[in-house]
Each structure stands twice: as structure tokens, then as C-alpha cells.
Structure 1
């Protein structure tokens, strides 16, 4: 994937922000202290966290194939979807949000599926994940209501948010209406233009992917796998917590709060959630009685273990991808 100068500037700036946040958080923590905690950690629980995490990745790839094959007479390879997914994760570590496009591009070459449709399925997939994240946040709010309200009031001013939304809403609505009118006008006036035709075809494929959910044959498998994917996130977090002496006594509710804060941190537009994930996870752990250093070290270990998995499997996936494309086998197997 080639990047323009503007995109390279964005990548460098986001990476710079991520590195600065990470440095600011860990400048007072020595490498020897972190190494000591890792040495004291349970290899068994860390190993379990690795296996659960990889299973979660595999399940995500399998769920993706359900969307891709919805309403179609095809059988997309779960193996190839998995390798495409891992290449996407690897790309995300370099360019924020590039992984979604990258994994679609990989699967397009290996399975010969329309790019627009693949992107549509990813949009639907991310929408479902967002709904499950909202459910996790709601569950955390229900179980840890007092702490949640305390954190929210400290981090966000509700009155300010309402005032800003009320002030900007007319402008936003007006801009959306103007954009829609402009798009409709251009599509009608230049409907025979080759570029417009390509955009229409791509949009059609995109819509096909987005609405693929209702055509999924295995609805039970789709929704149960979506739930288990988030359970894998939780189990991975819990396993790492049990592995480290300072966090081994955390309650199930506390781990849920850590997972929620970590998930929010991962949505930041920086490579792999570097910095933002660590800051939010450490922040919430301090509220559960851990020292600032213990919270930051836990965040570094859980995030670092995930990054290691993504890099190793991503590189393996790249090697497999090059081997498949070199043999010229862009068909489902």
C-alpha cells in the first residue's frame, strides 16, 4: 500500500504522539523493575493468555467469512481470512486504521472477492463490535456504578458536552444535507462518466457487504462468536492479571473495568493504541489500589504480549500471502 506525502505526515505525527505519551508514562519506570515483574509472573497464565488471544483472532476471522459468504454460493477459506486479518493487525501497528483496508486487499488477491463488498463486511463487523463494546461499558456501569460515575464526572463535563452539541448541531445537519444534495446532483449529471460508474459499482458492493448480516446463514454462529470474541478479550486480560503478583487479587468486576478502559484506549488514532491504552489501563488500576508503577507495568505487559502475537503471526501471514500469490492461486480453497 503506497502512501502519499500527506499520509506519511499523518503517520509520523500519530507515531510521534504515541511515542511521546508512552515516554511520558514510563520515563520514571526502569527496565529492570519491569523485567523483575515479568520474571515473577506465571508462565502458565501468560501462556494461557496467548492461546486465548490467538483463539479470539481465529474466531474473528471465522465470523468474517460468515459475512463474506452471506447470500453467496461460495465458501471463503477461514485460513486465508485469518492470515489476512493478522496482516491487517500488523499494518495497524504501522499506519493507524490501515489494517482494515489491508486485510481486505489481501483477501481480494487470495480469494478473488470484490473489494467493495469486503470493506462493507468490515464496516458491519466493526459496527457489531461497537455494539458489544457499548454492552460491556453498560455492564461495567451496572456492576461498578459508583466508580464509573466518579470517573466520568472527573474526566468529562456533561454540561459542556451538551452545550457544544446544541451549538454545533444545526451546522452539522446543514453540512450533511448540502453534501447529500451535491452527491445526488453529481451522480445524476455525470452518470455516464467512467469514474462515477466505478464509484456506483463500488458503492453497490459496499452496501452489499453492509447488509450481508441479514443474509448470514449461520445466525447462531455469528452472534455466539461475536459474544465469545469479547469473552476472549476478557479472559486474556484476566489471565495476564492472574499471572502478575500485584494484580492476581483483582476481582472479576475490576478486570471488566480494565478491559473497558483498554478498549476505549485502543480506539485512539495512534499505532496499536500505544500510549492511550497504557494511560487508561494504568489510570483505572490505580483506582483499585495498585500503585502507579504497578498499573503501568501491567498495561505494558498485556499490551506488549498482544503486540508480540500480532508481529509474529503477522510476519508468518505475510510469508504465506507471498507464497499464495506467487503460485497464482486466487481462488477459495
Structure 2
């Protein structure tokens, strides 16, 4: 996958933002205090959480394969989809959202599949995950309404929001119209060009991937796996709270609230949710009477354990995908027989 100058600039900007937020969150936590808190963390419960994450990753790969099988005749194995998924995750640690393209490119190389169709399945996956996350937010709001409203009051001043809209609303509308006219002009000029023809072909494959949900052989398995992926996410958070004394007494609904805030932090456009995850998790734990310093340590434990898991599996995936790409390359089978 070729990296452009624009992507490099995006990489450095998002990394600077992520590290800036991370530094801001942890600047008042000295090294001795942090090491002392980490030394008391239970590795057993962290291990349980990591093992559950492996089940979740495998389930994600299996669900993705269900969508791919509905659109492609050259079907990858679950293991190949798993390695492509982990490769995508490790790329996301370097360049936000690039991992979605990277995992599609990986399967293109190993199984000669259409990137456009694969991207369609990924967008469909992400849309469904977003819908499930919204359901979690609503459930958390119903169970923890008091905390939710208190938190929103601390985060937003609706009067200030309305004031900004009234002051800059016209400017925002003008910029939107200018961008719309510019886009329409560009599209009109490239209409009928070779580039437009390729773009239309890619879009057709993309739509084909999105429509894969209508061609599923086992729709029940797809929806059940989508549901259990989030059950596993919750179980990961539930068990890892037992790794620290300060978080071990959190109620089931409180843990759901922490999961929601962590999920919001992870979808921020920074590498692997660095900084944003830590800030939001530590922030919500304060509302449950957990000292800010303890909340920051907990966020570090949760995020660090998952980043370590992704890094290890991601590096292994590079080797495995390289091997699979060479193995499935046209003519390589006969070459190995000759050797």
C-alpha cells in the first residue's frame, strides 16, 4: 500500500493531536505514582480480557467472511480474513482509518478479490457496528440517566452552542454551498473520462459489497455474531475492572457507561484512540467516585493491553499474509513442485 504525502501529513497531525491529548491527561501523574499503581494490577484479569478480545477478533473475521462469501466466488478462509483484519488494526495504529483499506488490499493480494467489493463489506460492517453502539448509548442512558445528564452538563453549554450557531451559521452554510458547487463542477468536467470510468467501476463493486447483506446464506449467524461481538466487548471491560481494587466494585450499568465512553474515544480520528480513550474513560470514572489518578491508570491498563495484543498479532499477520500472498501467486504452486 503506497503512502502519499497527504497521508504522511495526516499521520503527523493526528499523531501530534493524540500525543498532545495523552500528555495533557497524564502530565500530573508522576512516574513513581504510575509504576506503583501498575504493580498492584492483577495480570490474571488482564489476561482474561485479552483472551476474550481474541475471541472477539476471530468472530469479527468470521462475520466479515460471511459478507465476502455473499459477493465473491473466490472465498477466503476465516484464518486469512483474521490475519487481514489484524493487519488492518495495526495499520490503524499508524494512520487512522487506513486500516480499513489495508485489510481489503491484503485480501486482494492473498485471494485476488475486488477491493471495491471488499470496501463495501467493510462500510456495511462499520455501519452495523455504529448502529449497535448507538443502541448501547441509549441503553446506558436509560440505566444511568442521572450520570449521563450530569456528564453532559459538564461537557456542553447548550446556550453557548446556540450562540455559536447564530453567529457562524451563515458562514457555515456559505462554505457548504461553495464546496457543493465546486464538487459538482469537478464531476461535470471529468464526466466521460477514463478516470470517471474507473471510478464508476469501483463504485459498482463498492455497492455490490454493501448489498452483500441481502445475499447472505446465513443471515441469522451474521446478526447473532454482530450481537455477540458487543457482548464480548462488554465482558472484556467487565473482567478487566477486577484487575484494580478501585474499579472492582463498579456496577454492571456503570461498566456499560465506561464501555460507551471508551468506544467513543476509539472512533476519534487519532491513532488507536490514543489520548481520547484515556481522557474519556478517566473522565467518566470520576462520576462514580473513583479518583482521577486511578481512572487514568485504569484507562492505561485497558488501552495498553489491547494495543499490545494488536501489535503482536499485527506483526504476525504481516508474515502470514506475505506467506499466503506468495503461496497463492499464479505459478508459485508449480514452482514449488519443481523445487
- TM (norm. structure 2) is 0.90
Classify the secondary structure of the residue corresponding to 1:66: helix
Contact 2:71 2:117 in 1 (8 A): no
**Which whole-Å CA distance do the structure 1 matches of 2:327 and 2:31 have between them?**
45
**Which whole-Å CA distance do the structure 1 matches of 2:66 and 2:325 have between them?**
24
* Offset of residue 75 of structure 1: 3.0
**Which whole-Å CA distance do the structure 2 matches of 1:87 and 1:207 have between them?**
24
* Offset of residue 230 of structure 1: 0.9
Query: For the aligned residues, what is the CA RMSD?
Result: 2.3
Contact 2:111 2:328 in 1 (8 A): no
Distance change (3 Å), C-alpha of 1:252 and 1:195: same
**Which whole-Å CA distance do the structure 2 matches of 1:316 and 1:322 have between them?**
10
Match of 1:14 in 2: 14
The within-5 A match list for 1:279-294 is 279-294=279-294
The within-5 A match list for 1:245-284 is 245-284=245-284
- Matched length: 328
Match of 1:37 in 2: 37
After superposition, what is the alpha-carbon deviation per residue over 1:41-79, rounded to whole angstroms, capped at 9, x for unaligned? 223211110110111111111111111111544532111
Match of 1:151 in 2: 151
After superposition, what is the alpha-carbon deviation per residue over 1:136-173, rounded to whole angstroms, capped at 9, x for unaligned? 10000000011111211221233554676683685577
Contact 2:101 2:119 in 1 (8 A): yes
**Which whole-Å CA distance do the structure 2 matches of 1:163 and 1:226 have between them?**
41
After superposition, what is the alpha-carbon deviation per residue over 1:277-298, rounded to whole angstroms, capped at 9, x for unaligned? 0000000001101111000000
**Which whole-Å CA distance do the structure 1 matches of 2:14 and 2:221 have between them?**
37
Match of 1:136 in 2: 136
After superposition, what is the alpha-carbon deviation per residue over 1:293-330, rounded to whole angstroms, capped at 9, x for unaligned? 00000000000000000000000000111112233448
Further displaced range: 287-296 or 31-40: 31-40
Structure 2 alignment gaps of length 5 or more: 331-339
Match of 2:334 in 1: none
After superposition, what is the alpha-carbon deviation per residue over 1:255-291, rounded to whole angstroms, capped at 9, x for unaligned? 1111100111111111111001000000000110111
After superposition, what is the alpha-carbon deviation per residue over 1:114-141, rounded to whole angstroms, capped at 9, x for unaligned? 0101111111111011101100100000
Match of 1:197 in 2: 197
Distance change (3 Å), C-alpha of 1:74 and 1:111: closer
Match of 2:81 in 1: 81
**Which whole-Å CA distance do the structure 2 matches of 1:172 and 1:257 have between them?**
37
The within-5 A match list for 1:1-333 is 1-161=1-161, 167=169, 171=174, 174=177, 178=181, 181-182=184-185, 185-186=188-189, 190-191=191-192, 193-329=193-329
**Which whole-Å CA distance do the structure 1 matches of 2:164 and 2:25 have between them?**
31
